[in-house]
């Protein structure tokens, strides 16, 4: 036994005290680390959605629902479909300033055997697509054949497995990167395949189109505008000249989401700050009170020749060790929770939610760790000051 | 080591008012010599604990000096005084002063400044009749056992000066005798031993006797 072993000994033997302090520190850690990860994941989700859309303008059928449907599809993964006449594609192609343009076809699966719920089927045009293929994650480089599909990252099927849609077997040849959005639960295939699926559905008596032929419709058009052209001008041009469709700026469509996200983020940062303010006060007060109750112990150490300096170091060491234990525990608990329940959190939120990568997470871990240990150290300093100013002679008489 | 305290004055200001000063130790001079047992008798509140706190470097007096041979204790900084106390002074406080989360043996070894002299600790534990209690936490002991443990702790570093404040306060006659014998033996081995007590039986072990009254120290007229 010696003085150097005393901090650890004290931490272990005064269990209630230690657990109480660690609990406060764990709460501090959880709020800061959890809050940061949560806010970052929301921002990541929105960024990834913006990036994934990859288009400046989206053209949809002009009815109130289709825009809402598309938003639900993107943000929550709620499957949906809508159609407009294919002829619009030619009109749009000829607009001055349009760089890339590609049509997509939407359909909802009847219960696919992969999944307990209906999945979104998105058909894209192999030749013109610029929004889906750049995100192919796995090896697939080729051209999709009629019976091949690509799946979003959240579907449980693997590359090489097959999936049945409207009675037809499809081979999964690729998987997309995770986006944290509704795009993760979709199945991707060619426009032609979607058309045959529509026919297959109608053969089964599921009516999807009222009168047109599947060959004459598309669901949406994605437009990439050339640099130097004003996106808003093109949007209003399209809307003026085509009564059947509605063009929206991709970014505008995201504004409401972005606003909601801003509100959630600031609410969370506010709560984190409140929790910190309270917990910090409680922590400092707890250390202060505990030190007061340990006067006899400090006096005893002074009697056997422990200097004020060493006494201060002893108290500081205890505070720092407890700070480290508390923040490490808090980080592990929060990390485990945030990473195991990220899907659930994302679903509950109805917002794109994408956890940060290793580098960002490590950064948050470090920031949290340093902040919490620092706060522990500050509380320790206050206690240490109290400990070193102990009036030994007076306490010995008590 | 000879301790030479001169003109020691300790006083407290009541309620922070300068004119409301009560003096606790009044111009005390005392010399403690090695190889002798010095006993200070005195009524409760006469200033005995205050005086030995000053002598042991635990309380800086308002006036006066405490010399250990040629070291003027209160001219040194806290690091020096603490280190000096650890190496040279065994102090047995009047009240309970053990760490309650440590065992008897750990409490004793905590004060040990030359490594973990387990043998020496065992020897003292044995001598003070604590063998059966050595692995007990100090919170599980009686007052008398705690007192004996504090004595063992004070003696672990073979100090050249020992201060014992009411060392037999809560001991029975047998243990009182053991403790006084032990302190007597320390003096024989060359240490300067100071015992503060009400217990008149200490008289039998004393070489030099002082009486303290109202902060004033005087050599007893019943010197041996
Ligand atoms: N810090 C202090 N503030 C005010 N009064 C004090 C202080 N320290 C000591 N005193 C007073 O000084 C006097 C002497 O106290 P001290 O503890 O030295 O007495 P003592 O002789 O050891 O008594 P006892 O035999 O009861 O232990 C007491 O009256 C006490 O109230
Ligand atoms: Mg006393």
Are residues A56 and A38 part of one domain?
no
More confident residue, A195 or A142: A195
The SS3 of residue B117 is coil
The SS3 of residue A147 is coil
Contacts 24+ apart (CB under 8 A), A204-209: A204/A110, A204/A166, A204/A167, A206/A110, A208/A81, A208/A107, A209/A83
Q: Which CATH architecture has domain B3-219?
A: 3-Layer(aba) Sandwich (3.40)
Select the residue from A298, A300, A304 to test the B interface by mutation, using most B Cβ atoms within 10 A: A304
Sheet order of strands, B208-213 included: B89-92, B161-165, B192-197, B37-42, B208-213, B216-219
Instruction: Taking residues A262-271, report their average pLDDT.
Output: 91
Last residue of a domain, one of A218, A249, A280: A249
Cβ–ligand 1 contact at B80 (below 6 Å): no
Last residue of a domain, one of A249, A281, A300: A249
Are residues A172 and A289 part of one domain?
no
Last residue of a domain, one of A249, A277, A308: A249
Ion ligand 2 neighbours (CB, 5 A) are B 49, 94
Residue (of A75, A342, A46) closest to A182 by Cα position: A75
Give the Å distances, CA to CA, from A190 to A147, A183, A193, A307, B198: 9, 16, 5, 79, 104
Are residues A140 and A38 part of one domain?
no
Residue of B nearest to A7 (CA): B101
Q: Helical H runs in B78-156?
A: 78-88, 104-110, 118-127, 143-155
pLDDT tens, chain B, 224 aa long: 899 999 999 998 877 777 788 899 999 999 999 999 999 999 999 999 999 999 999 999 999 999 999 999 999 999 999 999 999 999 999 988 999 999 999 999 999 987 778 889 999 999 998 999 889 998 889 888 999 999 999 999 999 999 999 999 888 888 899 999 999 999 999 999 999 998 888 999 999 999 999 989 988 876 65
Are residues A268 and A205 part of one domain?
no
Mutating to test ligand 1, I would choose from B26, B50, B196, B197 the residue with most ligand atoms within 8 A of its C-beta, which is: B50
Are residues A267 and A128 part of one domain?
no
Of B85, B96, B101, the CB nearest to A14: B101
**Residue A323 pLDDT more than 90?**
yes
Structural domain total, chain A? 2
Are residues A360 and A268 part of one domain?
yes
Could you tell me the residue range of the domain that residue A269 belongs to?
3-47+258-397
pTM of the model: 0.82
Are residues A305 and A168 part of one domain?
no
Residue B158: strand pairing partners: none
**Residue A137 pLDDT more than 60?**
no
Which pLDDT score, from 0 to 100, does residue A223 have?
94
Which pLDDT score, from 0 to 100, does residue A260 have?
83
Interface pTM, i.e. ipTM: 0.94
Are residues A269 and A239 part of one domain?
no
Are residues A206 and A58 part of one domain?
yes
Contacts 24+ apart (CB under 8 A), A366-371: A367/A32, A367/A36, A368/A29, A368/A32, A368/A33, A368/A36, A368/A327, A368/A330, A368/A331, A369/A327, A369/A328, A369/A331, A371/A32
């Amino acid at each position: 036994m010696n003085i150097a072993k005393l901090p650890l000994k004290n931490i272990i033997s005064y269990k209630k005290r230690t657990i109480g302090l660690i609990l406060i520190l764990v709460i501090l850690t959880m709020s800061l680390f959890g809050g940061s990860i949560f806010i970052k994941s929301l921002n990541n989700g929105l960024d990834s959605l913006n990036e994934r859309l990859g288009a400046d303008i989206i053209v949809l059928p002009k009815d109130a629902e289709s825009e809402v449907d598309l938003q639900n599809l993107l943000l929550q993964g709620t499957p949906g479909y809508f159609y407009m006449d294919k002829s619009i594609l030619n009109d749009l192609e000829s607009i001055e300033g349009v760089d890339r343009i590609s049509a997509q076809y939407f359909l909802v699966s009847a219960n696919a055997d992969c999944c307990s719920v209906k999945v979104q089927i998105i058909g894209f045009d192999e030749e013109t697509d610029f929004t889906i293929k750049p995100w192919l994650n796995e090896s697939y480089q080729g051209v999709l054949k009629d019976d091949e599909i690509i799946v979003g990252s959240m579907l449980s099927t693997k590359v090489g497995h097959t999936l049945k849609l409207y009675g037809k077997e499809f081979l999964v040849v690729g998987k997309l990167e995770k986006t944290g959005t509704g795009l993760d639960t979709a199945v991707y295939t060619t426009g032609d395949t979607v058309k045959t699926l529509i026919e297959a559905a109608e053969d089964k008596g599921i009516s999807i189109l009222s009168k047109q032929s599947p060959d004459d419709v598309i669901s949406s058009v994605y437009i990439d505008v050339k640099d130097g052209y004003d996106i808003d001008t093109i949007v209003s041009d399209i809307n003026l000249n085509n009564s059947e469709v509605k063009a929206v700026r991709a970014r505008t469509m995201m504004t409401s989401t972005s606003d909601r996200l801003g509100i959630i983020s600031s609410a969370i940062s506010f709560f984190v700050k409140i929790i910190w303010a309270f917990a910090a006060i409680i922590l400092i007060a707890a250390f202060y009170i505990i030190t007061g109750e340990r006067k006899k112990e400090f006096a005893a150490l002074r009697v056997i020749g422990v200097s004020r300096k060493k006494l201060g170091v002893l108290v500081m060491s205890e505070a720092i060790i407890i700070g480290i234990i508390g923040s490490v525990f808090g980080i592990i608990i929060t990390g485990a929770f945030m990473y195991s329940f990220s899907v659930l959190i994302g679903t509950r939120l109805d917002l794109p939610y994408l956890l940060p990568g290793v580098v960002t997470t490590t950064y948050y871990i470090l920031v949290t760790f340093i902040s919490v240990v620092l706060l522990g150290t500050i509380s320790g300093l206050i206690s240490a000051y109290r400990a070193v100013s102990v009036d030994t002679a007076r306490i010995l008489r008590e | 080591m000879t301790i030479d305290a001169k003109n020691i004055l300790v006083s407290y200001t009541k309620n922070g008012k300068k004119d409301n000063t009560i003096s606790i130790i009044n111009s005390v001079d005392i010399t403690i010599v090695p190889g002798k047992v010095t006993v200070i008798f005195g009524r409760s509140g006469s200033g005995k604990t205050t005086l030995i706190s000053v002598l042991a470097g635990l309380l800086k007096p308002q006036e006066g000096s405490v010399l250990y041979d040629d070291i003027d204790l209160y001219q040194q900084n806290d690091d020096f005084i603490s280190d000096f106390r650890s190496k040279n002074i065994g102090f047995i406080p009047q009240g309970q002063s053990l760490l309650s989360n440590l065992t008897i043996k750990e409490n004793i070894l905590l004060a040990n400044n030359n490594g973990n002299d387990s043998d020496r600790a065992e020897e003292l534990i044995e001598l003070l009749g604590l063998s059966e209690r050595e692995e007990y936490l100090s919170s599980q002991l009686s007052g008398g056992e705690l007192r004996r443990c504090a004595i063992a702790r004070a003696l672990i570093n073979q100090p050249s000066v020992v201060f014992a404040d009411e060392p037999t306060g809560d001991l029975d006659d047998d243990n009182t005798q053991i403790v006084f014998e032990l302190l007597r033996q320390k003096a024989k081995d060359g240490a300067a031993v100071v015992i503060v007590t009400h217990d008149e039986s200490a008289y039998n072990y004393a070489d030099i006797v002082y009486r303290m009254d109202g902060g004033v120290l005087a050599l007893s007229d019943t010197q041996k």
